[in-house]
Amino acid sequence: MTTTLDHVLRVQNVTKRFELDSGSVVALDNISLDVQPGEFVSIVGASGCGKSTLLRLIMGLESCTAGNIELGEINISKPSVDRGMVFQESRLLPWKTVTENIAFGIPKSHHKKEHNAIVQQHVELVGLQGFEQALPHQLSGGMQQRVSIARALVGRPDVLLLDEPFGALDALTRIQMQQEVLRIWQRERKTMILVTHDIDEAIYLGDRVIVMSERPGTIRNVIQITLARPRDRSSSEFMSYRREIFQEFFGEQKKTFVFEI
Ligand SMILES: Nc1ncnc2c1ncn2[C@@H]1O[C@H](COP(=O)(O)OP(=O)(O)OP(=O)(O)O)[C@@H](O)[C@H]1O
Ligand SMILES: [Mg+2]
């Protein structure tokens, strides 16, 4: 019998080097990270520090140059239904409807009736009832990302990887989508790993915020967020986390700047 303990995600001493004609690029340097089942981990770091590379390795889309990644007892070497990923751009098939795009994430072995019921459950999970037959171009950016989230969840993964999923959305839609992800996480209790440039988003959602160094990416600090959810972004505790993470990036000298804006 499998227990939830089997689904700990273990990133162990992972280095990733890309070989180019002009030389090699070390994207990640000896990263180790354990993520517990049902945990929400946010990752922040400068552009190019290897955040997407880390998610792509966890997804099994790339292989590690050194080290290894395990989910439970399984060594990750290729994509599988136990992991789902949402990308910055929605990556929907433009000629397929909402339902068809979501159905794309389910293994073909399901019976038709069961298949349709699972798809409909996921349409409802992301609040897209009434839009089942819409094509992607008939949806707003936020709605398209809801479809992407449903498609990533429909195969019932243990781990959902979110790579700056709301980067292209306006500030208000983004906040609304953060609330949606929180609701889905609280309901589904999946392990979630969110890469974001938005420090507030990282604090609002994460049990922990992983702060990465510039390339080659290493883990610079791990900040445990102990605030109860839903979190109040204007509370002094929230501000204090924000200050701590800003200081990780910009150092003491930028403290005045942070509080004068
Ligand atoms: N397929 C690839 N081939 C060669 N180099 C790559 C490849 N993918 C990523 N890199 C390099 O690895 C480094 C890390 O890239 P990555 O996309 O992981 O950064 P990131 O932290 O996600 O950046 P951003 O915040 O801008 O999305 C970069 O220097 C990038 O050029
Ligand atoms: Mg990236």
Count CA atoms within 13 Å of residue 16 on its CB side: 27
In the reported structure, the alpha carbon of residue 53 is separated from the centroid of ligand 1 by a whole-number distance in angstroms of 6
Asked if the model's pLDDT at residue 256 lies above 50, the reply is: no
Q: In whole angstroms, what is the distance from residue 35 CA to residue 71 CA?
A: 9
Q: Provide residues with CB under 6 Å of ligand 1.
A: 18, 20, 25, 27, 45, 47-53, 215
CA of 229 to the centre of ligand 1 (A): 33
Q: Which of 19, 21, 24, 25 to mutate to test the pocket of ligand 1 (most atoms within 8 A of CB)?
A: 25
Answering whether pTM is above 0.75, one says yes
The residue whose CA is least distant from atom 25 of ligand 1 is 47
pLDDT, position 2: 45
**Among the atoms of ligand 1, which is closest to the Cα of residue 50?**
18
Angle between helices 112-125 and 141-153 in degrees, nearest 10: 140
- Give the pairing type, strands 159-163 and 40-44: unpaired
What's the pLDDT tens digit per position in 155-173?
A: 899 999 999 999 888 899 8
Task: Please state the atom number of ligand 1 nearest to the C-alpha of residue 16.
Answer: 12
Out of 14, 31, 53, give the residue to mutate to test ligand 1, the one with the largest number of ligand atoms within 8 Å of its CB.
Answer: 53
For residue 122, the model assigns a pLDDT of 93
For the chain, percent of residues with pLDDT exceeding 90: 77
**Burial letters 30-59, b for 16+ CB under 10 A, else e:** ebebebebebbbbbbbeeebbbbbbbbbbb
Q: What is the pLDDT of residue 109?
A: 65
Please confirm whether the linkage preceding 216 is cis (ω < 30° from 0): yes
In this predicted structure, the answer to whether residue 260 has a pLDDT above a threshold of 50 is: no
Specify whether the CB–CB gap between 107 and 82 falls below 8 A. Answer: no
Mean per-residue pLDDT for 33-50? Answer: 96
Mean pLDDT confidence for 126-145? 95
pLDDT of residue 1: 42
Please give the Cα distance from 58 to 52 (Å, whole number): 10
CA-atom Rg of the chain in angstroms:
19
Contact 192, 41 (CB under 8 A): yes
Residue-wise DSSP of 87-102? -SS----TTS-HHHHH
Q: What is the DSSP string of the chain?
A: ---GGGG-EEEEEEEEEEEETTEEEEEEEEEEEEE-TT-EEEEE--TTSSHHHHHHHHHTSS--SEEEEEETTEEP-S--TTEEEE-SS----TTS-HHHHHHTTS-TTS-HHHHHHHHHHHHHHTT-TT-TT--GGGS-HHHHHHHHHHHHHTT--SEEEEESTTTTS-HHHHHHHHHHHHHHHHHH--EEEEE-S-HHHHHHH-SEEEEEPSSSB-EEEEEE--PPSSP-TTSHHHHHHHHHHHHHHH-GGGHHHHHH-
- Does position 150 have pLDDT exceeding 60, yes or no? yes
Q: Quote the CA–CA distance of 167 and 198 in Å, as a whole number.
A: 9
For residues 187-193, average pLDDT: 94
Summarised one tens digit per residue, pLDDT across range 88-135 is 888 899 999 999 999 988 877 668 888 899 999 999 999 999 999 999
Question: What backbone torsions phi and psi does residue 153 show, to the nearest 5 degrees?
Answer: -90, -20
Rounded distance from Cα 51 to ligand 2 centre (Å)? 6
Determine the pLDDT at residue 33. Answer: 97
